[in-house]
């Protein structure tokens, strides 16, 4: 029987930020970028981006280290409705250290369980994180 092994715990301050982020009422694209502090094996907030866009989020991510991103994305549906799905993005560049990749991969499921996002995406190349990518994924999946 498989069990979820949590490699890194979530920092209490980050946990509070995530709860507030879920309940936010602002209209617009916002993100919380999270990183693992290797020495303490804790997931912490790396950066908060308010009133942002996909390009700014992509530019904030390092190209040699993994990151978790919680993105509140404004989505206009085909019938004109506007929604703000919470998207969890796991950025794991191909050339990062294997130990870091393992720490992030081993912590992903428990973090997703805590956040409960509507969508989960994984990217290996930062160039893949575009408006078109997100819209295509969101509209295709419903």
Strand ranges for the chain from DSSP E: 9-10, 29-37, 42-52, 67-72, 75-76, 82-83, 86-91, 119-123
Residue-range definition of the domain harbouring residue 63: 9-140
Can you give the pLDDT at residue 23? 87
Tally of domains within the chain: 1
Q: How far apart are CA 115 and CA 22, in angstroms?
A: 8
pLDDT single digits (tens) 13-62: 999 999 999 888 778 899 999 999 999 999 999 999 999 999 999 999 99
Order of strands, sheet of 86-91, starting from the edge strand that comes earlier in the sequence: 9-10, 42-52, 29-37, 67-72, 86-91, 119-123
Residue 26 lies in a domain: yes
Residue 58 lies in a domain: yes
What is the pTM assigned to this prediction? 0.90
Residue 96 lies in a domain: yes
Residue 32 lies in a domain: yes
């Amino acid at each position: 029987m498989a069990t979820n092994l949590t490699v890194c715990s979530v920092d209490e301050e980050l946990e509070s930020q995530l709860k507030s982020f879920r309940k936010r009422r602002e209209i617009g694209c916002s993100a919380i970028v999270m990183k693992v502090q290797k020495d303490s094996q804790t997931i912490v907030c790396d950066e908060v981006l308010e009133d942002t866009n996909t390009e700014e989020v992509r530019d904030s991510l390092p190209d040699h280290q993994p990151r978790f991103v919680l993105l509140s994305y404004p989505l206009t549906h085909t019938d004109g409705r506007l929604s703000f799905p919470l998207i969890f993005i796991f950025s794991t560049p191909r050339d990062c250290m294997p130990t870091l990749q393992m720490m992030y991969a081993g912590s992903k499921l428990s973090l997703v369980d805590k956040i409960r996002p509507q969508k989960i995406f994984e990217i290996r190349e930062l160039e893949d994180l575009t408006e078109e990518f997100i819209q295509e994924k969101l509209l295709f999946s419903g």
